[in-house]
Homo-oligomer: A and B are copies of this chain.
Amino acid sequence: MSSRDWDKFLIPYEQAVEELKIKFRGIRKEYKKREDYSPIEFVTGRVKKLSSIFNKAKRLNVSMEEIDTGIEDIAGIRIMCQFVEDIAKVKELIRQRDKKDMDIVYEKDYVNNQKESGYRSYHFIIRYPVQTSIGQREILAEIQIRTLAMNFWATIEHSLNYKYEQNIPPHIRERLVRAAEAAYELDQEMSLIRDEVTEAQQEFETKSQM
């Protein structure tokens, strides 16, 4: 395919990301309207750049023809939570949608089983139908759910992986692990005041709508 054709290949992925962002942001709005604590703090999304797709395909030995099934995170959605406990609630909300506007392909729990690098997040791979001007297309998308602290750490690891092309030198990797521990610690401390806070934020929403 020419580079223009690859641009067109990304059309349904871009549309899926736009729709999924609106859908998960809608859940946050809904909780606020119901004057309730929202387990979703904010939502971002992105389509992988073509150069990153090609690099990953090479690394995973995926041929050009199988890219749409072999690379599962061309469309990516990230849901940030205030507290570790909120991740469970978001998982439930996504499972509720299974066989409705999306199909869950599989889940991966890097929250309870963190990666060696220190990475923590909960992942869903979903199949999502997109209506285009030339008919329906089903694409794969990855949804990552994490706390603000997990996200902060992951952003930084991502930059370093990019710089070192997946080969971060050992002394930096060690520092990253220590930073991951500090992030974990922060999440733990926050969990201890969670009940107080969720109650407080609920009151906040109620009062500010009166």
| Copies of this chain | 4
9-residue interface stretch from A60-68, A104-112, A119-127, A172-180: A172-180
Q: Which residues of B contact A183 (CB under 8 A)?
A: 186
Q: Does the CB pair A192–B204 fall under 8 Å?
A: no
Q: Which residues of chain A from 127 to 152 have a CB within 8 Å of any chain B CB?
A: 129, 131-133, 135-136, 148-149, 152
On whether A203 and B162 interact (CB within 8 A), knowing A18-B26, A22-B22, A82-B156, the answer reads: yes
- Chain A binding site: helix, strand, loop or mixed by DSSP? helix
On whether A100 and B196 interact (CB within 8 A), knowing A186-B183, A201-B159, the answer reads: no
**What is the size, in residues, of chain A's interface with B at 8 Å between Cβ atoms?**
66
CA distance A197 to B101 in the complex (A): 38
